[in-house]
Amino acid sequence: MDHVETFRRPIKTIGAALFFAAVLILAVIVKGHFDLAEITGRLVAAKNWISLHPAPAVFFFTIVYIAVTGLSLPGATILTLAGGSLFGLWAGTVLVSFASVVGATVAMVVARHFLRDFVEHRFPQAVAKVNHGVAADGARYLFALRLIPVIPFFLVNLAMGLTRMPVLTFAWVSQLGMLPGTVVYVNAGRQLASIESAAGILSPRVILAFAALAALPFVAKAGNAWWSGRNALRAWRRPRRFDYNLIVIGAGSAGLVTAYIAATARARVALIEQSEMGGDCLNTGCVPSKALIRSAKLAKEGAHPERLGLKGRLEPDFPAIMRRIQRVIARVAPHDSAERYRGLGVDVIKGHAKVFDPWTVEVDGRRLSGRRIVLATGAEPAIPPIPGLADVEPLTSETLWNLKERPDRLLILGGGAIGCELAQSFARLGCETTIVEALPRLLSHEDHDVSQAMQALLMADGVAIVTGAAVRSFVQDGQSRRAHLADGQAIGFDRVVVAVGRRPRTRGFGLEELGLVEDGHLVVDDRLRTRVPTIYAAGDVIGRLQFTHAASHYAWFAAMNALFGDFKSWKLHTKTFPAVIYTHPEIARVGMSEAEAREKGVAYEITRYDLAELDRAIADEANEGFVKVLTVPGKDRILGATIVGARAGDMLGEFTLAMRNGLGLNAILRTIHPYPGWMEAAKATAGEWRRAHAPAWALNLSARILRWLRG
Ligand code: NAI
């Protein structure tokens, strides 16, 4: 969690201080009560007894070990060390290995017998998911857990008992996975037993044994990563030398930022683009749509100048607006241009790339080799298979920028972010606009109150909205076009825009052949690595959070993990993720919505502030909307903030900063906000929260004292 990250450092420091204090106290106690000679004497006696009675000794040790591990009691580590001290390295390893596997299997079977049915009944979906994973890759996962003991031994036993992993698989994988750790621990125990004087603690053998103990998790982790990497790449021949450290495919937001970061780190980078530099965001997405929205906003204000005390009307000139949009693109284009990136040291190559093998990319017949490849090929508008759609010349968010004339009647399929932004803008420019949305409400990813607000504001702009409706077919009848809905309704239109989601571009350039795609999706781990460990991905192609700011955020992780992942890798985090829909008013959210909190079973409280109260919003004649903040019950910690309002996107910044840095609503309340500003809405919301949480006893006491002071 983000707020936890902030506090991790002090917690670590406190943890380290406590640890050293404990060692110090132990040292003082040991100094007073601990006689090394006496312990050595007892150990020698025990060893003598074992050499005289080996069979009972082995039997007794094994039974105790199995009992402790089988019953998940604490002490397995001490017993392992004792195994080395009493029986030596080889005999100790054999004994501990055998006893630990029997004990682990007993614990696993017991957990399975008593708990599995209950857990399966209680959490059927989660258990089904885990079992699916266990069936596919459980042995490898268990092996890694045994090798790298990040989760305590007894917990692994209990957890595996709850799955459907066969007992025999559990036993042999555990046996194999625990072996290196057992050897290192037993050896440490043997070295401990050889200490005869205080100075012996510092002997090279003892220090080495404990250094091996400390290094075990790291060595095991690196070994495991190396082994699974080697296995995944077994089928191909690795080149001896590489042309590049990194080959990036796609020069949209994700690809550009990946190349930028890699070039800054002094890597040799190739950036391949088949079309325009800048990708969707610059050419067909964020930039043109925001330019359109700006013109549409002024058109709306110009249609009702009397609201601001003005006279005269502004008339939209559609072709001029479309020409302006192209000018805006041209003005932003140099930021993403090939020249700029060549200046940064990136080899920008124009052409269609095909991934040939885990290190080789073919660009129009030319082969380039790279130690790592980053896929940043983006996404494209999804086209639903509706009969007749192809006959009515459908537009998408990619192609509608070529329109020269304003369509009189526009039909928009899909009431998501793109559908709503476009519907409002075209309606404001004078199109008769209709949205057909398959689900019962617009913006179904947002809360109900947000969908309602969006519906109301679009209707105020004259947009007709049909929800819960499926288009059965499209018909081109001479000059007229119609969409036939499932309920028998027919909607006439001149042009249709399809905005029903965006599909990752994963086809036709070698990804399926390499097994990177499943159900049309690129599979990546939390380091953005695909199933082939030399290939990473960033941006819309991953299919989650399809936003430019997500793409550039992913790009940092893809670039750094691809370049340096052999030594250090970074886990992707997107918990405090802000997003804005740029309608008027805007819709902005960071963190959880109410629906998400309910779905995840997270307890929350709501504080709401109505923008009708905000002085600046009233002065700007734009006081529709609200701020809604979810907090942990009884605390000011923010779980999520949703804003509907004219400057919602800008206002969201303060909540995002607070969440990312573990600051609560009290911190916002303490901060001075200039008057009269939009940001005051954040402070006012925090004030609402404070008022609702003011302790009644303190207010009562204050009232009494003040009454008493009045005499
Ligand atoms: P979306 O997934 O946000 O919305 C698509 C809508 O189409 C959904 O409501 C869905 O129920 C509906 N739909 C699907 N099939 C349909 C059918 N056959 N008939 C009628 N309705 C149908 O996708 P959208 O709006 O295309 O946006 C794509 C991505 O781009 C999203 O991830 C979105 O968040 C992002 N985006 C964000 C923007 C922003 O935040 N300013 C602006 C533009 C895009």
DSSP state string for 505-546: --SSSSTTTTT-EETTEE---TTSB-SSTTEEE-SGGG-SS-
The pLDDT, as a whole number, for residue 4 is 40
Burial of 104: CB neighbours in 10 Å, binned 0-12, 13-18, 19+: buried
Q: What's the length of the chain? A: 711
User: Quick check: 92 pLDDT over 90?
Assistant: yes
pLDDT per residue as tens digits for the range 132-185: 878 877 888 888 888 776 678 888 898 899 888 999 999 999 998 889 889 988
- Mean pLDDT score, 80-91: 90
> What is the 418 CA–ligand 1 centroid distance (Å)?
6
Q: Is the CB of 504 under 6 A from ligand 1?
A: no
Give CA–CA dist 108/70, Å, rounded: 8
DSSP string, 197-210: SGGGGG-HHHHHHH
Please check whether the two domains, 244-277+337-381+504-564 and 389-500, share a CATH topology. Answer: yes
- Mean pLDDT score, 615-637: 97
Closest CA to 522 of 646, 650, 698, 375: 375
Confidence tier at 374 by pLDDT (50, 70, 90): very high
Instruction: Give the list of residues 6+ apart from residue 1 with CB closer than 8 angstroms, or none.
Output: 575
Q: Is the CB of 415 under 6 A from ligand 1?
A: yes
Pull the structure tokens for residue 190.
């043997």
The pLDDT, as a whole number, for residue 341 is 98
| Direct distance between the N- and C-terminal alpha carbons of the chain, in angstroms, rounded to an integer | 52
Closest CA to 536 of 362, 367, 355: 355
| CATH level 2 (architecture), domain 579-696 | 2-Layer Sandwich (3.30)
Closest CA to 480 of 467, 469, 466, 490: 490
User: Using N-to-C axis directions, what is the helix angle for 124-147 and 153-161, rounded to 10°?
Assistant: 140
The pLDDT, as a whole number, for residue 5 is 42
The pLDDT, as a whole number, for residue 3 is 41
Burial of 198: CB neighbours in 10 Å, binned 0-12, 13-18, 19+: exposed
Say if strands 432-436 and 464-466 run parallel, antiparallel, or are unpaired. Answer: parallel
Query: Chain-wide mean pLDDT for the chain?
Result: 91
Is the Cβ–Cβ distance between 446 and 590 less than 8 Å? no
Helices and strands, number each (H, E), in the chain: 23, 24
Of 292, 444, 497, 500, best ligand 1 pocket probe by most atoms within 8 Å of the beta carbon: 500
The pLDDT, as a whole number, for residue 2 is 39
Instruction: Tell me the domain boundaries of the chain.
Output: 2-230, 244-277+337-381+504-564, 389-500, 579-696
Is it true that domain 389-500 has CATH number 3.50.50.60? Answer: yes
User: Quick check: 198 pLDDT over 90?
Assistant: no
Closest CA to 92 of 79, 110, 76: 79
φ/ψ bin of 29: left (φ > 0), alpha (ψ from -120 to 50), beta (otherwise) = alpha
> What is the 598 CA–ligand 1 centroid distance (Å)?
23
pLDDT per residue as tens digits for the range 432-467: 999 999 999 999 999 999 999 999 999 999 999 999
Reported as type and span, the H/E element at residue 642 is strand 638-645
Owner of token pair 């309704």:
489
Pull the structure tokens for residue 417.
């972010």
Atom of ligand 1 nearest to the CA of 397: 26
Percentage of the chain beyond pLDDT 70 is 93
The pLDDT, as a whole number, for residue 77 is 85
Cα angle for residues 126, 128, 129 (degrees, 5° grid):
65
Give CA–CA dist 53/50, Å, rounded: 5
pLDDT per residue as tens digits for the range 669-695: 999 999 999 999 999 999 999 999 988
pLDDT per residue as tens digits for the range 202-253: 677 777 777 776 777 777 777 777 777 777 888 899 999 999 999 999 999 9
Is the Cβ–Cβ distance between 411 and 436 less than 8 Å? yes
> What is the 428 CA–ligand 1 centroid distance (Å)?
21
Neighbours of 668 (CB within 10 A): 25
Q: Is the CB of 176 under 6 A from ligand 1?
A: no
- Mean pLDDT score, 277-283: 97
Q: Is the CB of 439 under 6 A from ligand 1?
A: yes
Give CA–CA dist 190/662, Å, rounded: 47
Cα angle for residues 585, 589, 591 (degrees, 5° grid):
170
Atom of ligand 1 nearest to the CA of 580: 40
Q: Is the CB of 112 under 6 A from ligand 1?
A: no
Reported as type and span, the H/E element at residue 420 is helix 417-428
> What is the 216 CA–ligand 1 centroid distance (Å)?
49
244-277+337-381+504-564 has which CATH code? 3.50.50.60
The pLDDT, as a whole number, for residue 31 is 55
Is the Cβ–Cβ distance between 382 and 503 less than 8 Å? yes
Give CA–CA dist 449/420, Å, rounded: 16
The pLDDT, as a whole number, for residue 7 is 45
User: Quick check: 530 pLDDT over 60?
Assistant: yes
Confidence tier at 560 by pLDDT (50, 70, 90): very high
pLDDT per residue as tens digits for the range 8-50: 455 556 665 665 666 566 555 555 555 667 767 778 888 888 8
> What is the 165 CA–ligand 1 centroid distance (Å)?
40
User: Quick check: 706 pLDDT over 60?
Assistant: yes
Q: Which residue's C-alpha comes closest to atom 36 of ligand 1?
A: 417
Percentage of the chain beyond pLDDT 90 is 71
Is the Cβ–Cβ distance between 542 and 524 less than 8 Å? yes
Helix (H, G, I), strand (E, B) or coil at 317: coil
Is the Cβ–Cβ distance between 333 and 326 less than 8 Å? no
- Mean pLDDT score, 108-137: 85
Q: Which residue's C-alpha comes closest to atom 18 of ligand 1?
A: 384
